[in-house]
């Protein structure tokens, strides 16, 4: 039977239209399903990214609190050292203070020759390094040789990374320790707080890490 005869036949025309309509519905249904699946994958990825971002942000906040506690401990040790009186604390803290004071003595540090700020930074450096944090400068001599405290004579850095193997998120934090003579209740200033993913070239010209200098 020719196509012309089928089209002239009402039953044949209805069948063709039904097939066309079913084909269109099936096509649009598949497109809608594919679009919904892509949206679901995007939503899952977005949820994972947000959770990772705020998990790293929370770790950074804990890091700030820990550094703040260490710096206030260094402040207490400094004032105790300058006043010649021991800090009233537990056995472990007292032993740590005695160890730090012995370290100062072995390095030739004396309140007669060095300022309160220098002694505080030495205590802070030693306590932070004992806690496993990276500091700059790394030695007592480098701190004591710095006579000007206009900037930050001591900085502490720490990097956090998510557990994801591919496209892991990272958080880099750099803090500047504020000398006692310039500090109020806060003994540090955030110099850098930057999150990025592994695919991003953080060293290239297309992406620059946020720093204190870039803010100015």
Give tens-digit pLDDT for 68-115.
Answer: 999 999 998 888 888 876 666 667 777 777 777 787 887 777 777 788
Place 11 in a pLDDT band, splitting at 50, 70 and 90: low
Whole-angstrom distance, CA of residue 34 vs CA of residue 57: 34
pLDDT at residue 139 tops 90: no
The residue extents of the domains of the chain are: 3-215
Question: Mean pLDDT in the chain?
Answer: 77
Q: Which DSSP string corresponds to 109-128? A: --TTTS-HHHHHHHHHHHHH
Place 138 in a pLDDT band, splitting at 50, 70 and 90: confident
């Amino acid at each position: 039977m020719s196509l012309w005869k089928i089209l002239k036949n009402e039953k044949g025309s209805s069948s063709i239209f039904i097939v066309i309509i079913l084909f269109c519905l099936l096509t649009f249904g598949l497109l809608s399903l594919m679009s919904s699946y892509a949206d679901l994958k995007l939503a899952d990825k977005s949820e994972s990214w947000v959770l990772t971002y705020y998990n790293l942000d929370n770790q950074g906040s804990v890091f700030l609190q820990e550094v703040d506690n260490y710096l206030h401990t260094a402040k207490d040790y400094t004032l105790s050292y300058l006043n010649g009186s021991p800090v009233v604390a537990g056995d472990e803290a007292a032993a740590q203070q005695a160890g730090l004071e012995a370290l100062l003595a072995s390095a030739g540090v004396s309140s007669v020759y060095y300022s309160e700020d220098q002694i505080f930074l030495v205590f802070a450096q030693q306590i932070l390094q004992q806690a496993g944090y990276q500091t700059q400068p790394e030695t007592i001599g480098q701190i004591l040789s710095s006579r000007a405290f206009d900037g930050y004579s001591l900085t502490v850095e720490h990097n956090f990374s998510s557990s994801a193997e591919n496209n892991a998120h990272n958080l880099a934090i750099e803090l500047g320790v504020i000398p006692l003579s310039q500090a109020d209740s806060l003994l540090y200033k955030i110099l850098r707080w930057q999150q990025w993913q592994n695919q991003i070239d953080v060293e290239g010209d297309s992406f620059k890490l946020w720093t204190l200098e870039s803010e100015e």
